[in-house]
Structure 1
Amino acid sequence: MTAWTFNEDLAGMSEALTGSWPQLAGKRLFMTGGTGFIGRWMLEALREADRRMGLGVTVDILTRNPAAFAAKAPHLVNHPGFNFIAGDVLSLRANGERYDYVLHAATDASADLNENDPLRMFDTIVAGTRAALDLAVRSKAKRFFFFSSGAIYGAQPWEVTHVAEDYRGAPDLGTHRSAYAEGKRAAEMLCTIYARQQGLNIVNARIFALLGPLLSLDIHFAAGNFIRDAMAGRKVVVQGAGTAVRSYLYAADLTVWLWKILLEAPPGGTYNVGSEDGISIAELARRTATLLGDAGFEILGREDSGWNPGRYVPSTRKIQDELGVAPTVGLDEAIVRTARWNGWNG
C-alpha cells in the first residue's frame, strides 16, 4: 500500500491518455450524467488534461442541480471549458448547438428506485437515451457514447466465470427487479436503431462494479458500505450469505478505459468495462475489515433480495486487446484509496 494522493490519480490518467487527448483539442462535447460518480471522474481527468495541454475543449454538462454540484466540486464548475446546464434528461431537447461528441451517462442506478418505482427507472433509461440520441443527431455529432451496464446479460451462470460481450443471456422478465437491466438493454437497441437509420456513429461501454474515491459510501453498494463501517470502527456486516461474487475496477482505470473507447474505438465498438478478479461478498467483507480496522466482520445469512445473488464478473479481453488498456490498481489498494479519500488515516 502507498501513501496515495488524488493528484497521483489525476497525473496517472493524464499520462495514460497522452496520445489520445489531442483529439479533443478545440472540440465541443455534450454530457449527461456528468455530476455522478463516473461522470465526475471523467470531468476530473479532462480538466487535468486541459490544464496540462491547453486543449481548449468545451463541455456542456446537463445536471438537475448545478448549485449543489458547485458546492461539492467548485473547481470543476469554475473550469472555463465546463458549462453546467440545469435540466433533466427526460426534458432534454436539441438546443441548436453543434457538438463533436455526445456522452450519455445519466442513469439513476438506485436500488430503492428499481425496487419501489421500476416504471420510473425504465422510463428514465429508455426515454432519456432516446432524447440524448436525438440531440446527437440534430447537433450532427460525429460520435455518441452510451454508458450501459453489465446487468444487460442477466444472471450470470456460475459456470461462466467471465461473461464476454457475445454472451446471449438476458434479464429475467418475470421480476420488476430487472427494470434497470432491461432498460439498459432497450437503450442499447435504440442505439443500434439510430446507427442504422440515422447513420450515427455509436460506441458503448457495459460497466460492471466499481470502487474508488468520489464513490458515496451510503448508497446501496456493498463495497462502499463495508468501507464506511470499517472506517467507523464498526463490525462489517453482510446481510446475506455472502456467496455472491463481484469484481471491482478502480475508478482511475475506469476513466482511462472510457476515454479510450470514446476516442479510439471503431464505430459500433461495444466493450465490457470492469475487473476480471472476482471476489465473494463474504471475502470482500473480511478483506475490508482487515485492511481498515480490527472490528471484524459477520455474515448474517439472510435471504438475498437483490437482482443478482450470483456471479457478476466480466471478461475484458476484448477491450484490453483492441484498445491496449489494463487494470493498474488492485482491490486492496482500491479499498485503501477510497477510505483515505473519505478521511481514513490508518
Structure 2
Amino acid sequence: MSDRTFADDIDAAVDAVGDAWRTLSGKRLLVTGGTGFIGRWMLEALLAAEHRYGLGAKVRVLSRDPAAFARKAPHLAAAFELVAGDVLTLPASGEPVDYVLHAAADASAELNRTDPARMFDTVVTGTRRVLDHAVAARATRLFFLSSGAVYGAQPWDTTHVGEDWLGGPDPLDPRNAYAEAKRAAELLGAIYRKQHGLEVVNARIFAVLGPLLSLDTHFAAGNFIRDALAGRTVRVEGAGTAMRSYLYAGDLTAWLWTILLRAAPGSTYNVGSEEAVSIADLARRTAALLGDAGHEVLGRPDPGWNPGRYVPATALIRRDLGVRQRVDLDEAIRRTAASHGWRP
C-alpha cells in the first residue's frame, strides 16, 4: 500500500466523523497508548482533522520512549507533545485536560501466558492512575479502549454477542488475566463516573486488520498474511474452527473517534465487524487472495484463551451513532498485505 493509499484511508476516517471534530476546537487532550497500533491510527486521524478544521487542540501523548516514537513517526512527534512516562507512574496532578483517550494496555498473548499478574496490574492499576489523573486535571470525558474479551466464552449458538450479554471469563483461569483486567477497568470507570462525575465511555474492541499491524505477533490474521507474502503455505496450527471477525483499521478509527466525540456519558459500544469467518477459512482466503501458495490445517490442540466464537453484534452503535463498515474482509486483507509490500 502506498503512502497515498494510507492517507486516503485516514481522510476517509476523518470524513466519516464529520463536523463532530469541531468539538475538539481549542480543547486539551491526553492520549495514553498513542504509540501502539490503534493509538497510532487515532493520532494520524487527529492530525488530519487538525489540518482540515484548524482545531487548535493541544495534545499530549504519554510514551515510554518518546525518542523511539519520534524516529518512527516524526510528523506526529512534531505535531503533538510527547511526554515520557507510563500509566503505572502517571501522577494524579498535572496540566488541566478536557479529554483523556486511554488506549494503553499490553495486549501481548505472551505476557498474558507467562506473567498474568503483571498483565492484570498493568491494565487495572494503570487505568486507576489514569482515572485519578483525569479527575485531578478536571477532565470532562475519559474514553477507555476496552476489549470484547470481557464477554468471556461466547456461546456457539450466539452468533453475535451484544453489549447486554452478562456472561464473563472464568475467574479461576489465569489465561483470563487480560479479559478480567479489562472488566475490572470498566468497573473502575463506572465508579469514577458515579463518585466524581467523570464522563466515562467505553469501546469493546474485537479483532482488527490494517496497515501498521505487526505480522509477527499472536494475531492469526497477521501471521497468515506474513506467510502468504513469503510464499509459504498458510498454516493453521489448531483445528481452525474458532470464529473471528475483523474490522479494518480505517473503519475502527472512525468508529472510535465518533464514540469519543458523540457518545452519551456512560455509553459502552462493541467495535468490530459482524462478518464472521472460521480461522481455517481465513487461512484459505488469505492464501487465495495473496498468491495462493496453499494452506493447511494441522488440527493440534488450541492453547489460546478462546477457541470458540469472538464476533460482536454492532446494531447498537450503528443505530445510536450512525457508523458503518466500509471495508470488507477481503479488501482488509489486501490493504494490510499491500502495506507490507504486496502487489496484485
TM-score by length of 1: 0.97
Q: Does 1:94 align with 2:92?
A: yes
Give the match's secondary structure for 1:20: helix
Q: 1:6: which partner in 2?
A: 6
Q: Does 1:246 align with 2:244?
A: yes
| 2: CA distance, partners of 1:11 / 1:60 | 22
Give the match's secondary structure for 2:19: coil
Q: 1:170: which partner in 2?
A: 168
Q: Does 1:343 align with 2:341?
A: yes
Equivalences for residues 112-191 of structure 1 within 5 A: 112-191=110-189
Paired residues of 2:94 and 2:133 also in contact (CA < 8 A)? no
| 2: CA distance, partners of 1:42 / 1:257 | 10
- 1:256 CA drift (Å): 0.6
1:167-222: CA deviations, max 9, x gaps? 00010112110000000001011011111111111100000000001111110000
- 1:2 CA drift (Å): 12
| 2: CA distance, partners of 1:176 / 1:139 | 35
- 1:95 CA drift (Å): 3.9
Paired residues of 2:274 and 2:312 also in contact (CA < 8 A)? yes
- 1:94 CA drift (Å): 3.0
Give the match's secondary structure for 2:88: helix
| 1: CA distance, partners of 2:10 / 2:184 | 34
Q: Does 1:320 align with 2:308?
A: no
1:90-142: CA deviations, max 9, x gaps? 00113421111011110000000000000000000000000000011011111
| 2: CA distance, partners of 1:3 / 1:266 | 35
1:308-345: CA deviations, max 9, x gaps? 00000000000000000010000000000001111112
2:331 pairs, out of 327, 333, 343, with: 333
Give the match's secondary structure for 1:19: helix
Give the match's secondary structure for 2:145: strand
> Which stretch of the first structure deviates more once superposed, 114-123 or 9-18?
9-18
Give the match's secondary structure for 1:298: strand
Q: Does 1:37 align with 2:1?
A: no
Paired residues of 2:128 and 2:188 also in contact (CA < 8 A)? yes
Give the match's secondary structure for 2:61: strand
| 2: CA distance, partners of 1:153 / 1:232 | 35
- 1:225 CA drift (Å): 0.5
Q: Does 1:49 align with 2:49?
A: yes
**Number of matched pairs:** 344
1:132-160: CA deviations, max 9, x gaps? 00011011111011110000000000000
Paired residues of 2:203 and 2:270 also in contact (CA < 8 A)? yes
Q: 2:284: which partner in 1?
A: 286
TM-score by length of 2: 0.98
Q: 2:83: which partner in 1?
A: 85
Give the match's secondary structure for 1:78: helix
| 2: CA distance, partners of 1:294 / 1:206 | 34
| 2: CA distance, partners of 1:40 / 1:46 | 10
- 1:8 CA drift (Å): 1.1
Whichever residue aligns with residue 36 of structure 1, its letter is: G
Paired residues of 1:4 and 1:337 also in contact (CA < 8 A)? no
Q: 1:237: which partner in 2?
A: 235
Runs of 4+ aligned structure 1 residues displaced above 6 Å come to 1-4
Over the matched positions of the two proteins, sequence identity in percent amounts to: 66
| 2: CA distance, partners of 1:324 / 1:102 | 23
| 1: CA distance, partners of 2:94 / 2:53 | 29
CA RMSD of aligned residues (A): 1.4
| 1: CA distance, partners of 2:96 / 2:228 | 48
| 2: CA distance, partners of 1:211 / 1:102 | 25
Whichever residue aligns with residue 260 of structure 1, its letter is: T
Runs of 5+ unmatched residues, structure 2? none
Q: Does 1:196 align with 2:210?
A: no
Q: 1:268: which partner in 2?
A: 266
- 1:4 CA drift (Å): 7.7
| 2: CA distance, partners of 1:107 / 1:24 | 24
